[in-house]
Amino acid sequence: MEAIRQWALSLCVAAVAGAASEMLLPEGGAQKIYRISFSVFFLCCLFFPLIGMTGISFGGVSLKETAGDSRAAELQNALEEQFTSDFRAAAEEKTVETLEASGICGTKVEADVNIDDSGSILIERLIVTVPSGEEASEEKIKAIVEKAIGISPEVDFLKE
């Protein structure tokens, strides 16, 4: 849908630019040549996306951007990795801060974060490791974390 919007916008811009340029040209032979060249340019703008979708090649060079598609996929994957990494770090940091504010110190938090098919970032699993000697109960830790970030964590207690 975005490609159609861009295509329509480029056609509108080309039409406005062509009309404005035509008004600036003097009457006569130059204006006739300009009209012909602009008509060819506008037709190219109009049909180039359609030709590109069919995979027609000119001189052995295909208009389909297969290299561009793979580059776009690489960029998409890099962005997804960056988003999940940042989201994971933020969730872990928020959990530690919340527990420390509640008096539970020295915890280690590990989050498993993924992006689902709809593009939403999800915390699949949150593991809170509490050091030995900490007096908080598992239910209390779960309640604190769930209130702060909306997910019930798995709680492990370190044993000496």
Site of tokens 């000119």: 58
Q: What does the alpha-carbon distance between residue 137 and residue 143 come to, in Å, rounded to a whole number?
A: 10
Amino acid at 26: P
> pLDDT grade, residue 68 (50/70/90)?
low
Each residue of 11-22: pLDDT tens digit?
888 888 878 877
Locate the domains of the chain by residue range: 2-64, 82-157
Torsion angle of the four alpha carbons 110, 95, 99, 136, in this order, in degrees rounded to the nearest 10: -50
Each residue of 70-109: pLDDT tens digit?
777 787 888 888 888 888 888 899 889 988 998 888 889 9
User: Terminal CA-to-CA distance of the chain, rounded, Å?
Assistant: 59
CATH match of 82-157 with 3.30.70:
no
Q: Is the pLDDT of residue 119 over 70?
A: yes
Six-digit token pair at 150? 């909306």
Each residue of 37-67: pLDDT tens digit?
878 887 877 777 666 555 555 555 554 545 5
Each residue of 129-160: pLDDT tens digit?
988 777 778 888 899 988 888 888 998 888 76
Report the pLDDT averaged over residues 114-139.
83
Q: What does the alpha-carbon distance between residue 132 and residue 79 come to, in Å, rounded to a whole number?
A: 38
